[in-house]
Structures are given as structure tokens and as C-alpha cells.
Amino acid sequence: MHVIFSESDIISLNSKIHIKNTDEIMNKNLYMAFAGIFFTLCLILMFAVWYSIHVLYDYRTEYETLEAERNNFTGMIQNLEERNRTLAEIAGLDINRTGTASDAVEFYSQVRLAIENAGMNLLSMSSGQNEKDLRLSLSLQGNYYSFAHLLAAWRVMPVASRVTSLRFKRDARAPEDFINADVTIEGMPDE
């Protein structure tokens, strides 16, 4: 038995086959596009995870380095504090003193006593403008080591003080370790 198809049947059948093939091709292309997008997103996600792990490792290494330095500095500070306490005990000093001068005469006498004990020569001394102004401008003469002892003595005076200016002068005719110094020292007044 032979089946005879008309021309319209063949055209209709041909168009159906063409539509079916086009749908299959479009579905395949759509699936391939989705697969490509999914694969690209997976690659981006994997790169982001790898990069995050790498950055976190760098931060962890830097944190460990800083933590080690902090521990080292903390240990050094504790050693220095212990050394200062030991030296203060040996010298009989109170390193935590915060004494203030009750008046200008007390401050001047403490400064003058330190100068005499250090063996420096006081050439001139001028004081602040009023009684509450505990500032002394001094011109001193002596050897370098005596001046170093004087600065140390001022640092541990019972009256809190600070050197605000210091200028050395050298006299060519004087011995090598002999210096002239202009010093300004301030004391903390009693409120």
C-alpha cells in the first residue's frame, strides 16, 4: 500500500519538522547558555574564595608578627620598669614623686643647692617676673661631667622641675672639658 501525500501535506509536515528542530536547537542553546553562566559563576566564586583565603592568611601572618612585637616591647618595658625601681631603691630615690614648690624661695634654694653639690660655678641668675613664676635663667661654668651631674640632680629634686632651654658655649682658652652653659629651668608652683 502506497500512501500518497499531497503537496500541502508535505509543506505542512516540513514546517512541523523545521519548527521541532528549531525548538530543539533553541532549547539546547538555552541550556548551553545557562551552563556557561553557571560555570562562569562557579569560577568567580572559587576565585573569590581562594583570594579571601590568601588575604586572610596575609592578615594572620601580619597579626602574629605584630603580636610578637607587642609581647617583645611589653617585656622590654617591664624590664626597664624593674631596672628603674631597682636603681631607685639603690639610690634611695622616690621615682614617683610629684612635689611642688610652696614658694619661689624653696625652688631657688633647691636649684642653688644642686648647683653647689655638682661643683658648678654660678655666674648669674635671674628669676621670673612675679612670685608665682618659678622660672630661673642661669649662666653656669664648670666641667662637662659636673654639668651632667647637675642635670641629673635637677631631675630628682624634691620639687618638680624641667629644663626649658639649654645652650652650651665653649671658651677656646679653657680646658677641653670645661663649658659655659645658659640654662632656663622652671618649677611647678604649689596651687
3-state secondary structure of 185: strand
Query: Cell 677641653 maps to which residue?
Result: 176
DSSP sequence for 107-160: HHHHHHHHHHHHT-EEEEEEE-SSTT--EEEEEEEEEHHHHHHHHHHHHT-SS-
pLDDT (tens digit per residue) in 141-153: 888 888 888 888 8
Nearest to 187 by CA among 121, 95, 108: 108
Please give the Cα distance from 161 to 151 (Å, whole number).
Answer: 11
pTM attached to this predicted model: 0.46
pLDDT (tens digit per residue) in 10-19: 566 555 555 5
pLDDT (tens digit per residue) in 69-114: 999 999 898 888 888 777 777 766 555 555 666 677 788 888 898 9
